[in-house]
Amino acid sequence: MRKTPLFAALAIGLATALTLAGCAGGSSSAGGSDATIAIGSLYEPVNLDNTAGGGQGVTEALNGNVYEGLFKLTDQGKVEPLLATKYTTSADGLTYTFTLRDGVKFHSGKPLTSADVKRSIERVTSDDSQSARKSQLEVIKSIDTPDDKTVTITLSSRSISLPYNLSYIWIYGPGTSNYKTAEDGTGPYTLGTWKRGSSLSLERWSGYWGDKAKNKEVEFDYFTDASALSNALQTKQVDIVTSIQSPDALSTFTGNKDYTISDGKSTTKELLAFNDKVAPFDNVQVRKAVYSAIDTKKLLNSIWGDYGTLIGSMVPPSDPWYEDLTKVNPYDVNLAKKELAEAGFANGFTFTLDTPTYDPHPAVAEFLKSELAKVGITVNINSISADEWYTKVFKNHDFTATLQEHVNDRDVVWYGNPDFYWGYDNPQVTAWVNEAEQATTTAEQTAKLKQVNEQIAKDAASAWLYLYPQIVVADSDVSGYPVNGLNSQFFAYDIVKK
């Protein structure tokens, strides 16, 4: 499976099933501080700008490595200060004042100033931005820069998630006018060479303000075939694979002392997303019936074997407001038939499932077709490309149901937006989402979002099929790499090789 970068900007991971693209790199034999770390990945960027649809690949390669934000989201999901050393909040919660770190320079040599922060945030909130955080930063009323080290952000309403949302915002330097092909960040690496369709290298930067990278260079070697990626690890072409995409590929590495397998925490949810504004899925009972007709445990096992997790809502276990809601819409064929009859569809119905052409969606679609046939529902599978999905489903809302994987953590809040592509519109949920964002404490925020979780599960706003596993496999001589799949980031600066 290959996730295309088209949708990371929308917090949606898309993928494209292609054949092997080839890889120019190779695992370096040198170890220690002069090592080159070869990282095998399926996620090549479309471009290098995360406000312009650069996608999952650009996040994986550049976030935290080349670009940094005022805050950092750690591999454990904690928000920590980075380019901001501290901040204060006004009593009414509407004004945040950030103090910038001293001694930070961009790769172009220019010092970091508050003007750079203001410009970077405004790039995210601009009309043509494709950033995942654009809508959540609409609460920003103004940004002031009283001096080079101070940024003051005034909000139109409280936003307890502001520091978290700012951890996604890269601070761009003034050293380039085309961020799609060049960079000017503050991170521990500079951009080396990008060989499109093959590899992208990052080189340790001697001018970094913090601890220098523990390796001299990292090279992301790109593949479009999961089997070829696994073979590259076997043949020492790469040192580490960021995400194994099939349990079958693990058989070579399991029990082999030459490799380390890490089963981390993913935030990627596989969804059967209904158009909740279109019949028959504007009927809660119909959605619940469909959900209960699907043996999600069997589905997960057929796709991922013993890996992955069942979930009953949009929230992964790594989110603070997680609850196990898998029993709200249990697998129960008789219950599904009963709910269909109560909804007026005792004889079933027919609908079209718009299905992205990349793995695992075609296999998932065929499974759903077979399952739903048992309760009299006929599924017509309409295979569409990633570009078609964006235009037809996400942009135009021209669909009845679709399959999609959603990558980011803390994205349950999208159910509070009636204009989001799936059209779920529950005024109480919208109110809870807004109240959670305006909460004065994290405990209050968590309580509100748990209510959101529970309600969208009761409404079967979508059918949350499973949570992807995050399986990282590396040569046993390599350590210091991240193991969790939070938002596709992959910090490379602590990776060492013996």
pLDDT tens for each residue of 101-142: 999 999 999 999 999 999 999 999 999 998 878 888 999 999
Residue with tokens 């103090």: 99
pLDDT number for residue 313 = 96
Domains along the chain with CATH numbers: 5-9+18-65+187-263+472-497 (3.40.190.10), 71-166 (3.90.76.10), 269-467 (3.10.105.10)
Burial 193-211 (b: 16+ CB within 10 A, else e): ebbeebbbbbbbbeebbee
Model-level pTM? Answer: 0.84
Task: Report whether 414 contacts 453 (CB < 8 A).
Answer: no
> What pLDDT, on the 0 to 100 scale, is given for residue 15?
37
Tell me whether strands 350-356 and 378-384 are parallel, antiparallel or unpaired. Answer: parallel
The 3-state DSSP class for residue 373 equals helix
- Render 22-89 in DSSP notation, one character per residue: -------S--GGGPEEEEEES---SSS-TTTT-HHHHHHHHBTTTB--SEEE-TTS-EEESSEEEEEE
CB 96 within 8 A of CB 152: yes
- Token look-up 């069997």 returns 298
Query: What pLDDT does 16 receive?
Result: 34
Phi, psi for 445 (deg, rounded to 5)? -60, -45
Do residues 187 and 67 lie in contact, with contact meaning Cβ atoms separated by under 8 Å?
yes
Asked whether the beta carbons of 375 and 345 are under 8 A apart, the reply is: no
Query: Which phi-psi region, left, alpha or beta, contains residue 467 (left: φ > 0; alpha: ψ -120 to 50)?
Result: beta
Neighbours of 358 (CB within 10 A): 22
99/82 Cα distance (integer angstroms): 11
Task: Copy the structure tokens of residue 242.
Answer: 């960021």
Residue whose C-alpha is closest to residue 401's, from 349, 453, 359 = 349
Which segments in the chain show pLDDT lower than 50? 1-24, 28
Provide CB contacts within 8 A for 185, sequence distance 6+.
Answer: 62, 66, 67, 68, 106, 107, 170, 171, 172, 173
